[in-house]
Structure 1
Amino acid sequence: MKKIAIFGVGLIGGSFALALRKAGAVQEIAGVGRSMASLARARDLGIIDRACTSVEEAVKGAELILVAAPVAQTEAILASIEPHLQPGMIVTDAGSTKSDVVAAARKALGTKIAQFVPGHPIAGREQNGPDAAIVDLYVGKKTVITALPENAESDVARVAAAWQRCGSIIHRLSPEEHDRVFAAVSHLPHLLAYTLVDDIARKPHADLLFQYAASGFRDFTRIAGSSPEMWRDISLANHEALLGELDAYMARLKELRGLLAERNSKGIEAVYANAQHARQNWIRTIEAAEQQSKQGGD
């Protein structure tokens, strides 16, 4: 590609830019963001070539436009792009929710909706901003594309190819399937991690508790170091599916509390053993997939 434009040059957008640059897949990268200081930092780090002050300047001549900002900003960003969106340009996103993003895109882009191919790279770190961007963030990681009925398959293939050049493995779901899946395995875990740390921080003896928190607590709560703004937007955007998962989880907690109150050792151990078995199977599946990827499998 001769040029791409990225709205949001932090961890997700910045890593996308670095990976494409390393792969020799793009000649020029333009960046747009809310903070000129952040854009200047991205330019200094070699993430982008040009820090743009206007949307028109950023998207002019761009073959691919990535929206990598918090999902609540999607509609406003797409609306700002729409007047400058020429035939042949493709817009995609990296949002962690898809049904709301698709609705925002339909509203903002109107008759140009076919040029928007929704996506979601399944990768991240708890750090934020341009300094968090790393060139290999997407290597071996999944990217889910939730193509629209209006999308030309050739445009979907171009978006997929860009993520593949970053080292990503492409999967496809509908927007609705995507949101149900990630409410369970991503959005709920973040809600739980944030809530646990917040609960401990509010206790009068919080300093003492944190003094003795060790690796288990650190590993369980790592994702609570992620961007509060981003995860606020994700939680609200996918609130219906997330509420369903939260209700189901609270019901399981109530059952476990009952087992604990009854001192039901067999029941507690059965829950723990089932969880251990399921996690071990999951880890083996991940390791097998990673090994297959390294060996050139699909």
Structure 2
Amino acid sequence: MAQPLINKFVVVGIGLIGGSLATGLKARGACAEVIGVARKAETCAEAIARGVVDRACTSLAEIAGELTKGDVIFIAVPTLSVTSVLEEVKSNISSDITITDGASVKGSVREAAQAVFGFVPEQFVLGHPIAGSEKSGVTAANPNLYERHRVILTPLESTARYHFNLVESMWQAVGAEVLSMSVEEHDEVLGATSHLPHVIAYSLVDTLAQDIKNPNIFRYAAGGFRDFTRIASSDPVMWHDIMRANKVAILQSMDLFINNLTRLRSSIENEDSESLLTVFSRAKEARDEFTRLLAARHSVSKED
């Protein structure tokens, strides 16, 4: 039998992101053992009962002494909670152990590491899986969540090649496509393509629920509303943290959107048909091209 890629895989935060990677690695025989770390003993017990992890504890310190080179710690907690995990890492974890994360904002994670260690350790590979669901918690763990999805790694000059290669191979083992980019580019791109849409979805649903006084507002909503607002069911704590951590990039994207929305409002008010058709046609063309790119990417993945 082939040697597993990872001996012990330690997931700190046993929710959708961490639990899905844990179950994905287990299902593919890519790790010998999965150890979960969660603040609540009840979460640990449920994760074991559901087979998401092999065993679990409430502190990294409890299992730190048994970790060796080739083991991986995956930090899968809300963005603003990463600092407290890194403090526990600094106190308990050897520099031989590979550490990575799944936070949606990389600049804040880099700053957290610098605040805790005084630098970003060479063993710490910053990363972000571009996959998710409106579901959350240990019950949402899905071993196939990362199949044909992209994972962005944002290595720094200090990142050791050994640790980077192990993290890259780990994600590839669960069917993900791994890309690399700078921390700054990641946060700018995700601010526009992921964080802004969540702002809009949350705001739209809140507006309809709180400000439009019509009891039938959701009863007669059609599939387009359902599809567009699905992400407003995402974990509020996680997205609260993301908004604070990536504030600059999100505000820049919001300002652009608000300016365009204001121009669109003016076109509607003034019955400017030419302007409306230009915007709608341009948007349809861009969306159709995005759909073609997705279809082509999935086609290549199937051939591979």
TM-score (norm: length of structure 2): 0.95
1:212 aligned residue (195, 214, 220): 220
Going from structure 1 to structure 2, the CA distance change for 1:167 and 1:60 (only over 3 Å counts) comes to farther
SS of residue matched to 1:260: helix
Separation in structure 1 between the aligned mates of residue 58 and residue 241 of structure 2, nearest angstrom: 25
Aligned equivalents of 2:142 and 2:78: distance in 1?
Answer: 19
1:207, 1:60 → 2: CA distance?
58
Deviation at 1:111, TM superposition (A): 5.7
State which of 66, 77, 82 in structure 1 corresponds to 2:74: 66
| 1:244 partnered with 2:252 | yes
Is this contact kept in 2: 1:59–1:65, CA < 8 A?
no
Note if contact 1:31-1:58 (Cα within 8 Å) is conserved in structure 2: no
Q: Indicate which of 98, 102, 109 corresponds to 1:101.
A: 109
Closer, same or farther: CA 206–50 of 1 in aligned 2, 3 Å: farther
| Counterpart residue number, 2:129 | 121
Contact kept, 8 Å, 2:14 with 2:37, in 1: the verdict is yes
**Residue 33 of structure 2 is aligned with which of 17, 28, 31?**
28
> Alpha-carbon deviation of 1:87?
3.1
CA shift, 1:206, in A, is: 4.3
Asked if the contact 1:3–1:61 (Cα under 8 Å) also holds between the matched residues in 2, the reply is no
Aligned-pair RMSD on alpha carbons?
1.2
How many residues were matched structurally?
296
Residues 195, 204 of structure 1: alpha-carbon distance in 2 compared, 3 angstrom cutoff: closer
Q: Give aligned-pair identity as a percent.
A: 39
Find the residue that maps to 2:29 and give its secondary structure. coil
Instruction: Kindly provide the CA deviation profile for residues 106-136 of structure 1, in whole angstroms up to 9, marking residues without a partner as x.
Output: 2223466111100000000000101111110
Shift of 1:60: 3.5
Identify which range, 82-91 or 219-228, moves more after superposition.
82-91
What secondary structure does 2:99 align onto?
Answer: strand
Instruction: Provide the rounded CA distance (Å) in 2 between the counterparts of 1:255 and 1:153.
Output: 49
**Post-superposition offset of 1:83:** 1.7
Matches within 5 A, 1:194-213: 194-203=202-211, 205-213=213-221
In 2, the alpha carbon distance for the partners of 1:290 and 1:103 equals 35
Contact 1:15 1:136 in 2 (8 A): yes
Query: 2:85 is matched with which residue?
Result: 77
Distance 2:191 2:233 in 1: 19
CA distance in 1, matches of 2:127, 2:88: 19
Structure 1 position 160 matched with structure 2 position 168: yes
Higher mean alpha-carbon deviation, 276-285 vs 112-121, is at 112-121
* Alpha carbons of structure 1 residues 223 and 83: separation in structure 2 relative to 1, 3 Å: same
Write the distance in 1 (CA, Å) between the matches of 2:196 and 2:119: 35
Structure 1 window deviating more from structure 2 (109-118 vs 141-150): it is 109-118
- Please state if 1:3 is matched with 2:8: yes
Partner secondary structure for residue 210 of structure 1: coil
Residue in structure 1 matched with residue 53 of structure 2 by the alignment: 48
CA contact (8 A) 1:8 1:67 kept: yes
Query: What's 1:37 paired with?
Result: 42
TM-score by length of 1: 0.96
State whether structure 2 residue 193 is matched by structure 1 residue 185.
yes
Q: Which amino acid aligns with 2:102?
A: A
Aligned residue runs from structure 1 range 244-263, under 5 A: 244-263=252-271
